[in-house]
Amino acid sequence: MWIIDDLVDDFHEMLNYCRKTAYFNPIGAEGTLFPGVRDEMPKPYYQLINALLNRLAKHSQGRLFKQSQLLKNWLSKVTLLPENLDVMQTMPHFDSLSENHMAAVHYLNDNHLGGTLFYRYKGTSKIHLSHDDKDTIIQMVE
């Protein structure tokens, strides 16, 4: 896991975009189970993240970043209360079964609003799932 602080030069400008400019689509409009509204980030954000990936690729442990391709950048705001979540929205999830895919989270809030937790799957030492882990995935869903 990589943790990068102070990625954005003008954080307040980014928050202003999120609060006043972003067009949030209705819940579920992008085809996921995300418990809230989303919008795609603007092109300058893609450029910022691509520049970061290029820098990380030069790091001695950055081999995963050398052939990276940025797919989607979502601006996501949780808007559903816990009691309104579908059962599938309450489960730990994984973004991909591929060893070559990565997910990143860029927090726009202080720690008081929570964050993302990474878990080992019960009964295993795994923190990453692959196509070979069908039985573990079925157990998790059950």
pLDDT in tens, 40-69: 889 998 999 889 888 988 988 888 788 777
Does any domain span residue 131? yes
Distance CA 80, CA 94 (A): 20
Q: How confident is the model at residue 110 (pLDDT cuts 50, 70, 90)?
A: low
Enter the pTM of the model.
0.71
Does any domain span residue 3? no
Q: Does position 133 have pLDDT exceeding 80, yes or no?
A: yes
Structural domain count, the chain? 1
Element (H, E) at 77: strand 74-78
Q: Residues 85-109: pLDDT tens digits?
A: 988 888 777 777 877 777 777 777 7
Does any domain span residue 76? yes
Does any domain span residue 17? yes
Coil vs helix vs strand at 99: coil
Q: How confident is the model at residue 112 (pLDDT cuts 50, 70, 90)?
A: low
Does any domain span residue 2? no
Distance CA 41, CA 106 (A): 12
**DSSP labels for 10-64?**
-HHHHHHIIIII--PBPTTTTSS--SEEEEEPPHHHHHHHHHHHHHHHTSTT-GG
Q: Do the Cβ atoms of 73 and 45 come closer than 8 Å?
A: yes
User: Other C-beta atoms within 10 Å of 72: how many?
Assistant: 9
pLDDT of residue 117: 66
Domain assignment of residue 52, given as a range: 11-141
Does any domain span residue 81? yes
